């Protein structure tokens, strides 16, 4: 059944011919790949969603300061800030995406969906969508399964790794998974789900991977917030049947082509972009000195 996740076009044809839903087709695939029962697959996804919800809560309630000091309780500040430029729901969306990602930057437990660098986007978007629409956990699990199918195709046609395709491949893919999942959870049909993916990818194309000091903190945490907001806007656009014009498979191919042409300094090497700025370099030196200072004596003198 592996061909199923080679393209969005193929995924749609498969589901139509077999008369199965998008999320059931992912369960079928997982059952075959893992030699497991469908209820085990659903239970695993439900467990992953609980970890996502816990990460949001942890990030909003506990101390979140990273060892480098670059991350310092940003999610709580956004959540509680009284001067709003966003609607209350939007403010919570941003804070939740920041919260879950800050947990990752502070070495807490998250779901790498699809990577740890992008681990705030699905929690932020889905927890907020669930709250706005009163959705059940079971409905969110269906959305997450569709998100998994989206990731399988992006991995096949382009990449999910910043080291291969830049940040578009990490936060861009997570935002596309989230947008597709949200449209699905709200009852959107297959073309709307795929259109949401296409629009999201169009908005994220070209984003480079340039983590300061090689740590997945800056700009990663704030990019999780912006990617979550793009996922929301793409969901709204797709639900209104506004076309991406460029079909989703071609959008993913464009992302692959852009990723392949990116110089290596923009692919997680911390040698370009924000990592290469004067301040980025200073932070990098300070973090390196911190690391040397905490090495045991016998290791630091070798």
Which chain residues interact with ligand SF4 by CB under 6 A? 117-118, 162, 167, 170-171, 209-211, 216, 219-220, 223, 268
Place of tokens 């997945």: 216
Longest dimension (CA), the chain: 66
Comparing CB distances to ligand SF4, the nearer of 41 and 201 is 201
Closest distance between ligand SF4 and the C-beta of residue 15, in Å?
31
Comparing CB distances to ligand SF4, the nearer of 170 and 249 is 170
Closest distance between ligand SF4 and the C-beta of residue 248, in Å?
21
CA 166 to chain centre: 13
Comparing CB distances to ligand SF4, the nearer of 148 and 216 is 216
Closest distance between ligand SF4 and the C-beta of residue 1, in Å?
30
Closest distance between ligand SF4 and the C-beta of residue 243, in Å?
28
Closest distance between ligand SF4 and the C-beta of residue 104, in Å?
10
Comparing CB distances to ligand SF4, the nearer of 26 and 158 is 158
Burial of 135 (0-12, 13-18, 19+ CB in 10 A): middle
- b/e string for 76-96 if b means 16 or more Cβ within 10 A? bebbeeeeeeeeeeebbbbbb
- b/e string for 141-154 if b means 16 or more Cβ within 10 A? bbbbbbbbbbbbbb
Comparing CB distances to ligand SF4, the nearer of 130 and 173 is 173
205: DSSP letter:
T
């Amino acid at each position: 059944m592996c061909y199923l996740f080679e393209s969005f076009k193929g995924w749609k044809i498969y589901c139509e011919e077999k008369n199965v839903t998008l999320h059931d087709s992912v369960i079928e695939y997982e059952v075959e790949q893992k030699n497991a029962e469908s209820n085990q697959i659903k239970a695993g996804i439900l467990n992953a969603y609980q970890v996502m919800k816990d990460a949001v809560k942890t990030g909003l309630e506990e101390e979140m300061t990273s060892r480098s000091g670059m991350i310092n309780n940003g999610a709580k500040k956004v959540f509680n800030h009284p001067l709003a430029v966003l609607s209350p729901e939007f403010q919570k969306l941003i804070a939740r995406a920041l919260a879950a990602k800050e947990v990752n930057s502070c070495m807490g437990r998250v779901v790498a969906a699809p990577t740890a660098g992008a681990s705030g986007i699905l929690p932020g978007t889905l927890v907020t969508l669930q709250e706005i629409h009163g959705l059940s956990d079971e409905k969110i699990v269906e959305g997450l399964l569709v998100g998994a199918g989206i990731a399988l195709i992006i991995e096949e046609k382009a990449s999910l790794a910043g080291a291969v395709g830049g940040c578009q491949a990490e936060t861009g893919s997570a935002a596309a998974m989230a947008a597709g999942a949200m449209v699905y959870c709200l009852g959107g049909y297959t073309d709307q789900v795929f259109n949401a993916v296409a629009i999201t990818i169009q908005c994220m194309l070209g984003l480079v991977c340039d983590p300061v000091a090689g740590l997945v903190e800056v700009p990663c945490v704030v990019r999780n917030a912006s990617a979550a907001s793009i996922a929301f806007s793409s969901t709204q656009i797709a639900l209104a049947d506004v076309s991406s014009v460029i079909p989703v498979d071609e959008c993913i191919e464009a992302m692959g082509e852009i990723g392949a042409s990116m110089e290596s300094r923009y692919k997680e090497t911390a040698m370009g972009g924000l990592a290469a700025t004067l301040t980025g370099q200073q932070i990098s030196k300070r973090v390196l000195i911190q690391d040397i200072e905490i090495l045991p004596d016998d290791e630091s003198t070798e």
